[in-house]
């Protein structure tokens, strides 16, 4: 069975390499043709025109930049689609875009399934990581085996189209906050004469990431009256952080905004509640 793959960035190219290692026949295309041509040494067949790349392919995988790129490229590729072709899009897109494309291509006689991933390039090469799907369960069941080969774990979020897109964006939001938080931690550490290696030593022994599921569960259950760290005390610590960097003439990215929200909830009378009460309005 011939497969096509559109978009040869870091993720797409390594997904293709993994497919080729498994013995798949893969036709590839990329806007910058040289990136697709490079994969011919691994056994892929590269095409200059995207409609040629999808000819004779039953499954068409997509990894592009955004909604606009997906819509533009699929419109150009459409004249080469085989009857009954299945489009599996791994691009991180909007929820609205995923829903609209599912309906649009169904109306054209093709299956469109949005299957975003939490994978780095190395994960793609090793077929590890996470892939998410949602929507028509009959479609997902039919292609579950194919998708599972590409990743360490396939997460099915049910029948609602676009939910996988929303889950991916929520996960990415957390990653953005995590990196900004690390940057703030490094700035504060520097002010206090602490090296990145010393901070890493702390996190290698005390891993706050392991507490994320329990923290989310506590927030979801709204158990704010069972404090493990009172909001008043957390705000006191935030004040120490802000004071230290202010004296050094530098600024933090995340903590000032958090401190403002803490002040709002303390003013509402929640100072003795668990500090996670600041997330109450998110429920």
Q: Domain tally for the chain?
A: 2
What pLDDT score was predicted for residue 267?
98
- 140 and 191 co-located in one domain: no
Per-residue pLDDT tens digits for 30-81: 999 999 999 999 999 999 999 999 999 999 999 999 999 999 999 999 999 9
Residue 175 in this model has a pLDDT that exceeds 90: yes
CB of 40 closer than 8 Å to CB of 47:
no
What pLDDT score was predicted for residue 247?
96
* Nearby residues of 272 by Cβ (< 8 Å), 6 or more positions away: 227, 230, 231, 232
What pLDDT score was predicted for residue 85?
95
- 39 and 65 co-located in one domain: yes
- 151 and 172 co-located in one domain: no
What pLDDT score was predicted for residue 207?
93
> Which range of residues forms the domain containing residue 22?
2-158
- 142 and 190 co-located in one domain: no
What pLDDT score was predicted for residue 12?
97
Cite the beta strand spans of 63-135 per DSSP E.
86-89, 111-114, 117-118, 130-133
Q: Which of 66, 61, 33 is nearest to 48 (CA)?
A: 33
What pLDDT score was predicted for residue 165?
98
Confidence of residue 283 (pLDDT cuts 50, 70, 90): confident
Confidence of residue 1 (pLDDT cuts 50, 70, 90): confident
What is the distance between the alpha carbons of residues 132 and 205, in angstroms, rounded to a whole number? 31
Q: How many CB atoms lie within 10 A of CB 149?
A: 13
Tokens representing 125? 């090469």
Per-residue pLDDT tens digits for 92-139: 999 999 999 999 999 999 999 999 999 999 999 999 999 999 999 999
Q: What is the mean pLDDT of residues 16-32?
A: 97
What is the distance between the alpha carbons of residues 113 and 76, in angstroms, rounded to a whole number? 18
- 73 and 133 co-located in one domain: yes
> Can you give the CATH number for the domain in which 270 is found?
1.10.1040.10
- 38 and 132 co-located in one domain: yes
- 147 and 208 co-located in one domain: no
> Can you give the CATH number for the domain in which 105 is found?
3.40.50.720
What pLDDT score was predicted for residue 212?
94
Q: What is the mean pLDDT of residues 234-260?
A: 97
- 57 and 190 co-located in one domain: no
- 277 and 251 co-located in one domain: yes
* Domain end among 158, 193, 222: 158
* Domain end among 158, 175, 195: 158
What pLDDT score was predicted for residue 131?
98
Per-residue pLDDT tens digits for 186-230: 999 999 999 999 999 999 999 999 999 999 999 999 989 999 999
- 7 and 146 co-located in one domain: yes
* Domain end among 158, 177, 203: 158
Q: Which long-range contacts (CB under 8 A, 24 or more apart) does 260-264 make?
A: 262/231, 262/234, 262/235, 262/238, 263/235
Q: Which residue has the higher pLDDT, 146 or 262?
A: 262
Angle at the Cα of 145 from the Cα atoms of 144 and 149, rounded to 5 degrees: 115
- 37 and 109 co-located in one domain: yes
- 209 and 227 co-located in one domain: yes
What pLDDT score was predicted for residue 202?
97
């Amino acid at each position: 069975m011939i497969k096509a793959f559109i978009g040869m960035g870091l993720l797409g190219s390594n997904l293709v390499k993994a497919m080729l290692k498994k013995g798949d026949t893969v036709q590839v295309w990329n806007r910058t043709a040289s990136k697709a041509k490079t994969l011919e040494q691994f056994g892929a067949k590269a095409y200059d025109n995207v409609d040629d790349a999808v000819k004779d392919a039953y499954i068409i995988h997509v990894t592009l930049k955004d909604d606009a790129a997906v819509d533009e490229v699929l419109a150009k590729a459409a004249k080469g689609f085989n009857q009954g072709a299945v489009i599996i899009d791994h691009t991180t897109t909007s929820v609205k875009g995923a829903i609209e494309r599912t309906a649009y291509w169904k109306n054209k006689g093709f299956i469109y399934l949005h299957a975003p991933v939490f994978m780095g390039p190395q994960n793609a090469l090793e077929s590890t990581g996470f892939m998410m799907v949602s929507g028509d369960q009959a479609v997902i069941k039919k292609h579950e085996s194919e998708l599972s080969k590409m990743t360490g774990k396939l997460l099915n979020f049910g029948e609602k189209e676009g939910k996988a897109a929303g889950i991916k964006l929520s996960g990415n939001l957390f990653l953005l906050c995590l990196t900004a938080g690390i940057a703030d931690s490094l700035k504060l550490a520097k002010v206090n004469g602490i090296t990145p290696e010393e901070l890493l030593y702390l996190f290698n022994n005390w891993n706050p990431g392991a507490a994320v599921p329990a923290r989310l569960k506590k927030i979801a259950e709204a158990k704010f009256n069972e404090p493990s760290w009172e909001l008043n005390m957390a705000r006191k610590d935030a004040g120490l952080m802000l004071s230290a960097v202010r004296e050094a003439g530098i600024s933090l990215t995340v903590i000032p905004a958090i401190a403002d929200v803490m002040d709002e909830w303390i003013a509402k009378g929640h100072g003795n509640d668990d500090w996670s009460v600041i997330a109450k309005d998110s429920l």
